[in-house]
Amino acid sequence: MSVEIIKVPDTGGSDPVDVIEVSVKTGDSIVPEDTIVVLESDKATVEVPAPLGGKVGKLLVSVGDRVKEGDPLVEVETGDSQSDKPDAEKKGSGKVSSAESTSKDSAKDTAKKKSKDAAEQKPAAAKKSTGKSTSEEQIRVPDLGDISDAELIELLVKEGDELEAEQVLGVLESDKASLEIPAPKAGRVVSLTAKIGDKLSTGDVLMTISVSGESSADAEDESESNATSADAASEKQSTSPSSAEQSSPGQSQQPAAQKKADQGATLTKPSGPVHAGPAVRKLARELGADLGQITGTGPRARILKEDVHAHVKTLLTERPTAAAAAGVELPQIDFSKFGPTEQVELNKLRRVSAANLHRSWITVPHVTQFDEADITDLEAFRQAENARLAKMAKATGKDAGKLTMLAFLVKASAVALREFPNFNSSLALSGDALIYKQYINIGVAVDTPNGLVVPVIRDADQKGILAVAREMGELAEKARNRKLAPGDMQGGSFSISSLGGIGGTAFTPIVNWPEVAILGVSRTQKKPVWDGEAFQPRDMLPLSLSYDHRVIDGADAARFTSYLCEVLTDLRRALL
């Protein structure tokens, strides 16, 4: 038994880099190509692979440390008979590219035939990278599942444009959300086949691009790298009983969405760190996908681009399920018998909203609690603060923001939800348990020409009122321009629907399932209020709280609205 120290490879500069993830722990058995740590510089994220196999004896760094080339990372206990020990010492101080190449050589010793084939492909790729030839390739609509007519609502490139890999080409709208289509590789747009408004399905041609030989070589190298990583993972499975028990090779190559369909079970969030490279993280950000909700199918549960696309496809193809309720058959009426008529098809957003609202209405036993909040002092403060912000903006030439009453409502609701956690919960599908959420994400209904959407203010309790106002403005603008991503409308735990800018005295909002409550807000009215000696004119804000009576009792709802009114009357209560 001997102890080898894996060191930081060449990171491309002399400045220290951050350790953002430690992927192993003391006692773990590792094989070549396993990720040891993830380093992040100001330019990129680099996963450091293990140059040799063995058992982790001691971790020499932790998350948050700053390290540079040559610093020790991990002590690994190896057998004396290991043939790759001299190579390991060389790898410890080599460049990142050298470490990866040597690691592949080590994996080659245990999977000779596959690695030999991969090695034979390298000269061809190198030869191709030096060529000047170009080829034309068609970019097609990615797999959309059972969606046959997705509308192309945005086209972001034109003929002659130079493309970068992962650049967004256009936006498709399905029944549930919008999907951005990224460029699979760099190139130049030769011709556009589709135009805005076209109905597209899986495999339809979007455009033709011209790709240089160098880009083709890069794609071939990437394919080879993925194949080599898969070989290393397969070798690990063949030598590790625990890995073999967890998944078979056939399962490891399936996208997460296909596994879900085959197994008939919902994949859960990984309990360990998320393993994904910079390109995958960038793709996830652009598509609005939460990496924490994606199960990786690569080596050591690494998330691949295919996993991200499969996750987004699942979000696009999921249909709201009809509630188990006794249906009533309605008669078909020919309205044209009574006079001229015109039939206009609902857009996709309104169709989906209708299905969701119907599901909530027939499954949630609704009760609505009405109350009024005295916001006289709050409104005076809001107007004074907006005047101050306007002066500041005029003096500095920069937008200082603007406070809206809705921003105060979001903050006050967040305070009330902390006080009454039942309103920040969801009822388990079994009906036997409540799921209490440790986060407070508040959805705010936005009226758009295409229908109602509900973007979510995340961690509203941890943000200031001005920050909430700015974020609401940005989300509302994205909603009106149809730029909201699926992630912008997910994860809400409570909703607010405000009609104050339009009018009305009260209404009954429908609970946004799986939430258990929603706050409706109507227009502020000037009313005479008795102060003990005389009637005084006060600004009264009507509130309508609809709630799920299976979770919340009427007395709790009355306490919630009373507390919310007190916070709005005197916002200093929010500081307590």
Domain end point (choices 90, 110, 130): 110
What tokens does 436 get?
């209490």
Domain end point (choices 84, 110, 136): 110
CB 31 within 8 A of CB 239: yes
Number of domains in the chain: 2
What tokens does 401 get?
């923001």
Residue 303's identity, in one-letter code, is I
Give me the pLDDT at residue 12, please.
67
Whether 294 is in a domain gets the answer no
**Torsion-angle region of 454 (φ positive above 0: left; ψ -120 to 50: alpha; else: beta):** beta
What tokens does 20 get?
């953002």
Q: Which residue has the higher pLDDT, 79 or 415?
A: 415
DSSP assignments along 423-440, one per residue? GGEEE-TTSS-EEE-SS-
For residue 457, give the nearest of 425, 421, 413 by alpha carbon: 413
The Cα–Cα gap between 130 and 411 comes to 59
User: What is the pLDDT confidence band of residue 122, given thresholds at 50, 70 and 90?
Assistant: very low
The Cα–Cα gap between 179 and 287 comes to 7
Q: What is the pLDDT of residues 136-191, one digit of tens each?
A: 888 888 876 656 677 888 888 888 888 888 788 888 876 555 677 888 888 888 88
CB 87 within 8 A of CB 9: no
The Cα–Cα gap between 6 and 11 comes to 14
For residue 437, give the nearest of 420, 454, 462, 456 by alpha carbon: 420
The Cα–Cα gap between 30 and 232 comes to 11
Whether 312 is in a domain gets the answer no
CA angle 414, 420, 424 (to 5 degrees): 65
The Cα–Cα gap between 485 and 15 comes to 36
DSSP state of 511: P
The SS3 of residue 160 is coil
Q: What is the pLDDT of residues 361-389, one digit of tens each?
A: 888 889 999 999 999 999 899 899 889 98
Q: What CATH number should be reported for the domain holding residue 475?
A: 3.30.559.10
Partners of residue 519 on adjacent β-strands: 496, 545
Question: What average pLDDT does the segment 90-112 reach?
Answer: 42
Give me the pLDDT at residue 216, please.
39
Partners of residue 425 on adjacent β-strands: 436
User: What is the pLDDT confidence band of residue 485, given thresholds at 50, 70 and 90?
Assistant: confident
What tokens does 517 get?
């409550």
Give me the pLDDT at residue 80, please.
54
User: What is the pLDDT confidence band of residue 249, given thresholds at 50, 70 and 90?
Assistant: very low
Whether 555 is in a domain gets the answer yes
Share of the chain above pLDDT 90, in %: 16
What tokens does 391 get?
């002066």
Whether 454 is in a domain gets the answer yes
Whether 376 is in a domain gets the answer yes
CB 136 within 8 A of CB 306: no
For residue 199, give the nearest of 175, 168, 173 by alpha carbon: 173
CB 437 within 8 A of CB 470: no
Q: Active site residue: 275, 309, 358, 549, which one?
A: 549
Question: Mean pLDDT over all residues of the chain?
Answer: 75
Burial 331-342 (b: 16+ CB within 10 A, else e): eeeeeeeeeeee
Whether 331 is in a domain gets the answer no
358 is catalytic: no
The Cα–Cα gap between 163 and 157 comes to 9
Q: Which residue has the higher pLDDT, 558 or 78?
A: 558
CA 445 to chain centre: 20
Q: Which residue has the higher pLDDT, 318 or 426?
A: 426
Q: Considering only 143-157, 223-237, 501-515, 532-546, which range has the smallest mean pLDDT?
A: 223-237
Question: For residue 356, is pLDDT > 50?
Answer: yes
CB 57 within 8 A of CB 44: no
Any idea of the CA torsion for 26, 28, 33, 39, to the nearest 10 degrees? Answer: -30
Q: Which residue has the higher pLDDT, 397 or 563?
A: 563
Half-sphere exposure of 31 (CA within 13 A, CB side): 23
Give me the pLDDT at residue 228, please.
42
Whether 251 is in a domain gets the answer no
Q: Considering only 175-179, 233-237, 324-328, 467-471, which range has the smallest mean pLDDT?
A: 233-237
Q: What CATH number should be reported for the domain holding residue 48?
A: 2.40.50.100
User: What is the pLDDT confidence band of residue 257, given thresholds at 50, 70 and 90?
Assistant: very low
The Cα–Cα gap between 198 and 150 comes to 8
Give me the pLDDT at residue 393, please.
84
Q: What is the pLDDT of residues 492-527, one digit of tens each?
A: 999 999 887 787 888 989 998 889 999 999 998 888
Q: Considering only 17-26, 193-202, 251-260, which range has the smallest mean pLDDT?
A: 251-260
CB 169 within 8 A of CB 179: no
The label of the residue with tokens 């709208």 reads 173
**Residue 20 to residues 95, 289, 403: CA-CA distances in angstroms?**
20, 20, 37
The Cα–Cα gap between 187 and 189 comes to 7
Residues 6 or more apart in contact with residue 216 via CB below 8 angstroms: 128, 135
User: What is the pLDDT confidence band of residue 125, given thresholds at 50, 70 and 90?
Assistant: very low
Give me the pLDDT at residue 175, please.
59
The SS3 of residue 177 is coil
Whether 135 is in a domain gets the answer no
The Cα–Cα gap between 51 and 85 comes to 9
Domain end point (choices 110, 129, 149): 110
Domain range holding 1?
Answer: 1-110
Q: What is the pLDDT of residues 412-458, one digit of tens each?
A: 999 999 999 999 999 888 888 889 999 999 999 888 777 778 889 99
Give me the pLDDT at residue 562, please.
93
The Cα–Cα gap between 183 and 140 comes to 10
The values of phi and psi at residue 241, to 5°, are: -60, -40
CA angle 321, 323, 329 (to 5 degrees): 110
Q: What is the pLDDT of residues 282-306, one digit of tens each?
A: 788 777 788 878 888 876 677 888 8
What tokens does 527 get?
């009313």
